[in-house]
Amino acid sequence: MHSSDRDRVVLAALVFAVLFSQVLLYPGVATLVETLGADAATSAFAATPLDASMWFLVAEFAAYVTFVGVWGIASDATGRRTPFIVVGSLAGALGYGTLAAVPSVGSVSFEGVLLLRVFQGAMTIGAFSLTMTMLMDLEGGHGRNMGAAGIAIGLGAALGAPVGGQLTELDPRAPLVVAAGLLVCVGGLVSLAGDRTPEGSRSVRALVDGVRRRPVLSLPYAFGFVDRLTAGFFALVGTLYFQEAFDLDAGMTGLLLACFFAPFALLQYPMGALSDRFGRTVPIVVGSACYGGGILLVGASPSVPTAAIAMIGVGILGALVAPATMALVTDLADESERGTAMAGFNLAGSLGFLCGFLVGGTIAGTYGYGLAFVVVGGLEIAIALITVPAFLRLSVDRTEGFHAGDRGDA
């Protein structure tokens, strides 16, 4: 096996482990925060179980947004990735482990729990974002590399929830313990992949200025924001909609969500390779427009079978869009600024996920599920239409790639 192929497998497995560890906590979050001391009588952040769960999730995403850029800039400035991933993963494991120990200590307030959650998130995002950046550094085609990342992300999201639910049944703290163990493995195994960070160091100011001089990066960032917004929408609003509209239990809801996650995860690598061969424009622009239309069809489906078919279609289209969008970041970023560029993409994605919760939940709660699906699907269609002129100016196709290396590696 070629060293790049081996490293691609290793790094994709590490991306999977980090995301899987994150999602493990979601199914039992209400039980977990109660175990960690959420109490309406002692904390304003725990007025209701929903409030406590929300703030526990928001604390992690707020840390992602705040610190992802710090990790990317530090990595690019020093010309190293592996040491930062080791530190981030081991410190993240410490954060998870400390949270698991809180009930045994007994004197930590819920505000203290949220601060621990911020620390854990700030460390974990470094391991996640920089492992993806190491995939960007590989040869073999940017679409293939980001397709491998996409498979890892999709499988982590698809498998983390059901496994986390089973672990919660055993013990509410079990997901925390398993997450800590997985991050320790990440820190120990990342050295198996070669650190191909471009040689040389740059000042922080030079890195930030370099990314600022590439406003074209706003294209993949915008698509990353909207795509993650739809993911957050389905994670919250989609789940509740299926249960209320079709009277499904949690098990059937999981199977319906799997109709999206299975093709979304498994098709990312071939779809990414396809974008290496034929360019990014069609997968991103046409794929996003069709993806938005698929979301509208899900919201309009009159029965479980039709909703399942629509979800399969949305999963296929999501697999078409996601790796091409991440590969576009690699196409546009300077080699010495990839950590910073990917940090910006993950920042946009984290904000999108939060907005998916907030926008989707607010619209669904105020105006109903129908309008929520229309707004979210319409955003996907709108961004595709708005960015057509920009893509045409850039001529992102197989014969006019952003970097000659991308064509050659494909």
Looking at per-residue confidence, does 158 or 79 come out higher?
79
Over residues 172-225, the pLDDT tens digits come to 999 999 999 999 999 999 999 888 776 655 555 655 565 566 777 888 888 989
Has residue 350 got a pLDDT over 90? no
Over residues 283-299, the pLDDT tens digits come to 999 999 999 999 999 99
Q: Which helix (H) or strand (E) holds 363?
A: helix 338-367
What percentage of the chain exceeds 70 in pLDDT?
90
Q: Which of 143, 168, 201 is the last residue of a domain?
A: 201
Instruction: Kindly state whether residues 217 and 172 are assigned to the same domain.
Output: no
Instruction: Kindly state whether residues 176 and 309 are assigned to the same domain.
Output: no
Instruction: Kindly state whether residues 197 and 220 are assigned to the same domain.
Output: no
Per-residue model confidence (pLDDT) at position 207? 53
Instruction: Kindly state whether residues 367 and 305 are assigned to the same domain.
Output: yes
Least confident of 226-230, 235-239, 397-401: 397-401
Has residue 166 got a pLDDT over 80? yes
Most confident of the following: 104-113, 229-238, 374-383: 374-383
Contacts of 381 (CB under 8 A, 6+ apart): 288, 289, 292, 293
78 inside domain:
yes
How many Å is the maximal CA-CA distance in the chain? 64
Has residue 49 got a pLDDT over 50? yes
Looking at the 3D structure of the chain, how many domains does it have?
2
Instruction: Kindly state whether residues 265 and 372 are assigned to the same domain.
Output: yes
Do 265 and 154 meet the contact criterion of CB atoms below 8 Å apart?
Answer: yes
For residues 107 and 102, what is the distance between their CA atoms, to the nearest angstrom?
8
Q: Which of 201, 222, 248 is the last residue of a domain?
A: 201
Instruction: Kindly state whether residues 351 and 287 are assigned to the same domain.
Output: yes
Has residue 42 got a pLDDT over 80? yes
Most confident of the following: 5-14, 36-45, 112-121, 131-140: 112-121
Instruction: Kindly state whether residues 192 and 275 are assigned to the same domain.
Output: no
208 inside domain:
no
In terms of phi and psi (left: phi > 0; alpha: psi -120 to 50; beta: otherwise), the region of 319 is alpha
- Other C-beta atoms closer than 10 Å to the C-beta of 228 total 22
Per-residue model confidence (pLDDT) at position 354? 79
Among candidate residues 353, 349, 329, 352, the one with its CA nearest the CA of residue 341: 329
Per-residue model confidence (pLDDT) at position 211? 57
Has residue 144 got a pLDDT over 60? yes
Do 52 and 113 meet the contact criterion of CB atoms below 8 Å apart?
Answer: no
Per-residue model confidence (pLDDT) at position 405? 39
Instruction: Kindly state whether residues 56 and 158 are assigned to the same domain.
Output: yes
CATH of the domain at 230: 1.20.1250.20
Q: Which of 154, 180, 201 is the last residue of a domain?
A: 201
Looking at per-residue confidence, does 50 or 180 come out higher?
180
Radius of gyration of the chain (CA): 21
Sign of CA dihedral 85, 86, 91, 95: positive
Task: Label residue 395 by pLDDT band (50, 70, 90).
Answer: low
Instruction: Kindly state whether residues 385 and 245 are assigned to the same domain.
Output: yes
Over residues 301-341, the pLDDT tens digits come to 999 999 999 999 999 998 899 888 988 888 887 777 777 78
For residues 302 and 292, what is the distance between their CA atoms, to the nearest angstrom?
18
- In terms of residues, how long is the chain? 410
Give the residue-averaged pLDDT of 142-155: 84
Residue 57, phi then psi, degrees to nearest 5: -75, -40
Query: 174 is in which domain, residue-wise?
Result: 1-201
Query: How distant, in Å, are the alpha carbons of 124, 146, 148, 157, 383 from that of 143?
Result: 25, 5, 9, 21, 21
Query: How distant, in Å, are the alpha carbons of 90, 158, 184 from that of 226?
Result: 31, 20, 32
Task: Label residue 391 by pLDDT band (50, 70, 90).
Answer: confident
Looking at per-residue confidence, does 210 or 87 come out higher?
87
207 inside domain:
no
